[in-house]
Structure 1
Amino acid sequence: MKSVIGFIVLFSFQFAYTQSVKITGKIKSGTNVENIHVINKTAQKFTITNASGEFIIPARLNDTLRFSSVQHKLKDVLITQEIITSKTVTVILEEKINALNQVTVGKILTGDLSSDIGTVKGETPINFYDVGIPGYTGKIATQSERRLAEAGEFKPKMLLGALTGSIPLNPILNGISGRTKMLKKRVKHERNEALITKLRQEFSESLFSIYPLSEEFRADFFYFCEMDENFYQTCNGKSDLEVLEFLKHKLKQYKANQQED
């Protein structure tokens, strides 16, 4: 009889230990609490916080939750029996403090014209708002994007212009010489490079907390992601969860390639 009771107690303890429950959490911080990455390192699950800093994530006793964001210091929280019982957790995150460069107040002239010209105060230049005329307020194009726009893109219907004597020569000549194609590749590369740099900064801690990768291979891994033909369409403007899923998929591919090599 004692052995049966002991077995039941042991089974109950084992069940409670391995049972996964949904933990409802709340982030508190003096700064923005939206889009903070919440990672269950033990179960390899992740989610993000909403605008109020709230989240829901499955966890078991003794799992470790990691909280990561660009604005906050990294923090790990161990899932205790108290958290399992209440199914709630409140986490206070400490804001990262970035040291600012030394600021000098007032003019200091060195005698070097190229240096001193930057310290001279002048009147704010008049812009199109001041004189009441319309102006462009959208995203400023890069040098490569401007060059591509100037080169134009050849379209067969342009040849119809020969009938009226108004055929545009730039798009045709640039298309034949391959300059337009070269500029398109350059614009695409610069666009992808800017996005992968942003993702590397924002997602490295979260991704490698769940799926470890040696520091020496991380730069190569992100280059591997950038080379995916669907990289920009899959990651640009997407939610953090969608981006993490893409990076997780690519990391599995990358590790498989390493094993083959």
Structure 2
Amino acid sequence: MKRYLLLICILLSSVSLMAQDENTAIGVVVNAANRKPLEGVNIVNLNSVKGTTTNNEGEFKITAKVNDTLHFSYLGFKSIKVRVTNDWLKFGSAEITLTVLHEALEEVVVNQLRLTGYLEVDIAQVPLPNDNYRYSISGLSRGYEASKPSGINKIIGSIFNPADFLHRMFGKKPNELRKLKQMKEDDEIRNLLASRFDREMLTALLKVERVDLDEIVSQCNYSKGFIQSANDLQILDAISECYEEYKLLSRGRNDRL
């Protein structure tokens, strides 16, 4: 009797492990040039909004289902997307190869100012600093950042535009708006985004172009300085907070009608 119970326990354990493996994609990421493993590669499941990184042997494990898309990115290498197949989940590890990305150096302009020796003329050539201001609104937890306006009405009027722009961007793809909340709640995703400045992972997750992403943040009254210097996590939080604040303002506006 004891033998039968032991056999049943073993079978149940095996079934449990098989079920667990079928929901997990495992593999190793290597350099296509020399087959050496790559440590610290960022991997994100674009469907479930889950993320991870490779260990010092280039190995990774991530929750995934058949037909999910995994996004692999690594500094200095070309990013790729890989679809999860049934064979991959059933039969074990996959090898993912990344190719070095050769970037052309941009032209650098030196000595942009032509000094004349006349103080008044030379001072006029120096660009003025970009003064940014924060505007506080009653009922909201934070203010808006914007360049110095010609009048406060310009800022107040623009506050009601961001969500309209967000809906124009994501109106036909409501799942992408829901991903904002998922990304904010996943610690692994937040850690990955905090170390990035290229917007590549954000554009892949939200399925927008880089120029559209910058435009969204700009429409939410963030300055050029913020857009250029913020990391990907700050950009994510800016978009998410902008949308949440719009809903608050919109709710208040509807209550008054």
TM-score, normalised via structure 1 length: 0.41
Larger of the two Rg values belongs to structure: 1
